[in-house]
Structure 1
Amino acid sequence: MKLSKRSVYIFLVIISTIAADQISKILVRANIVGRTDMTPSERIPLIGDAFVMMNIENTGAFLGMGSDLNPTLRIILLLILPILVLGFVLRHILKDKTIDNWSLFAFASVIGGGIANVYDRIVYGSVTDFLFIDLGGVFKTGIFNLADMSVTTGMIILVIASFSKKKETTSTN
């Protein structure tokens, strides 16, 4: 089976995303004291108090949501459903040759970030989150990781690409 340049590109983005995320998490787990109750025990300022590293083992999803679900529901909602969705998205981008390069990158980033976090849930029973931004109350994030950044960036690119396509089709009509 010969892979096209397009397929190689998709897999390179996915694998690079997973690798960067997993390497960062290995370093955090090895070097920063962590907790599982969503309260950090060690805070390492990277840029004052605006950008901080810590180690939180998140047993839920976004901002710990779902961490108090019963084990069966947690497996369904945080493992099985994401694996199915990621598989369908991967199948879609491999088959649909009309997807533009930015959207292709965005989808691959979402898939890579999703796989990285699912991997953590399977192997460790939680997802390692370690970055936090607080710009003096003007802008404040939850605690996140590189996989989360990849998924968020991919989604933002997809939204922008969607608006760009709508603008193009409106102006050509």
Structure 2
Amino acid sequence: MTTKQRFATALVCALAWIVIDQFTKALFKQILSPGEVVSLFAGSLLVLPTYNDGAFLSLGAHMSGAMRAAILVFGVLAILIGLVGWLLRSSRLGRVDVMAIACILGGGLSNLVDRCVYDGRVFDFLNVGIGRLRTGIFNVADIGIMLGVALLLLSSVKRKPTLPRDRNSLRI
């Protein structure tokens, strides 16, 4: 893929994640009251609106506001900028890699929008599990981030390392 193709593909995919995430957040903020819990699929999926001060699984929620902002806003922004740089500079990225980066960018940017709008917090509303074995509360942006990470991991496992071929090294 050319740089323009990588950028265009990633932009469309990332924007899709942002739109879907922000739409679902707006929808559930409107139809659910704080503290309300909706159980679906025999309790395997719970929809419960909450604001998360921390990151994944509320990590960092108890840090000071300045430290949280430094890490969860500026740190995340630096990572996202690094991903954009990787996307634009690496000609070796395949389609799966580009889609993976786009998923992470879309999810990360959408959660950054929340942090800017909701005083450093992210709106989460999904919980999955069986019985007492449950996930933390998350949102669609988190799904995008996790999907992107999983795709990058799978892509790196499938990719075979390329070694330079030196004819002289094969001689005995």
Q: TM-score range by the shorter chain?
A: 0.7 to 0.9
Give the corresponding residue for 1:87.
81
Identity over aligned pairs, percent: 28
- C-alpha contact 2:123 2:139 (8 A) present in aligned 1: yes
| 2:129 maps to 1:134 | yes
C-alpha deviation, 1:134, in angstroms: 1.2
| 2:68 maps to 1:74 | yes
Higher relative contact order (CA 8 A, sep 6+): 2
SS at match of 1:113: helix
Give the corresponding residue for 1:11.
11
SS at match of 1:72: helix
Structure 2 length normalisation: TM-score? Answer: 0.87
Give the corresponding residue for 1:61.
55
Quote the Cα distance in structure 2 between the aligned partners of 1:54 and 1:60: 17
Quote the Cα distance in structure 1 between the aligned partners of 2:115 and 2:56: 13
**Unmatched tracts of structure 2, length 5 or more:** 166-172
| 2:21 maps to 1:30 | no
Give the corresponding residue for 2:146.
152
Give the corresponding residue for 2:92.
98
Deviation beyond 2 Å, 4+ runs, structure 1: 3-6
Quote the Cα distance in structure 1 between the aligned partners of 2:136 and 2:4: 39
Q: Deviations over 1:49-89 (max 9, x none)?
A: 11111101111111212122111101101101101110111
- C-alpha contact 2:6 2:98 (8 A) present in aligned 1: no
> Which amino acid in the other structure matches residue 8 of structure 2?
V
Quote the Cα distance in structure 2 between the aligned partners of 1:12 and 1:116: 14
- C-alpha contact 2:52 2:124 (8 A) present in aligned 1: yes
Q: Deviations over 1:119-139 (max 9, x none)?
A: 1011112111111111234x5
Structure 1 length normalisation: TM-score? Answer: 0.87
Number of equivalenced pairs? 160
Q: Which has the larger radius of gyration?
A: 2
Give the corresponding residue for 1:110.
104
Give the corresponding residue for 2:170.
none
> Which amino acid in the other structure matches residue 15 of structure 2?
I
Quote the Cα distance in structure 1 between the aligned partners of 2:155 and 2:130: 28
Quote the Cα distance in structure 1 between the aligned partners of 2:83 and 2:152: 13
Aligned Cα root-mean-square deviation (Å): 1.7
Quote the Cα distance in structure 1 between the aligned partners of 2:134 and 2:43: 11
C-alpha deviation, 1:100, in angstroms: 0.6
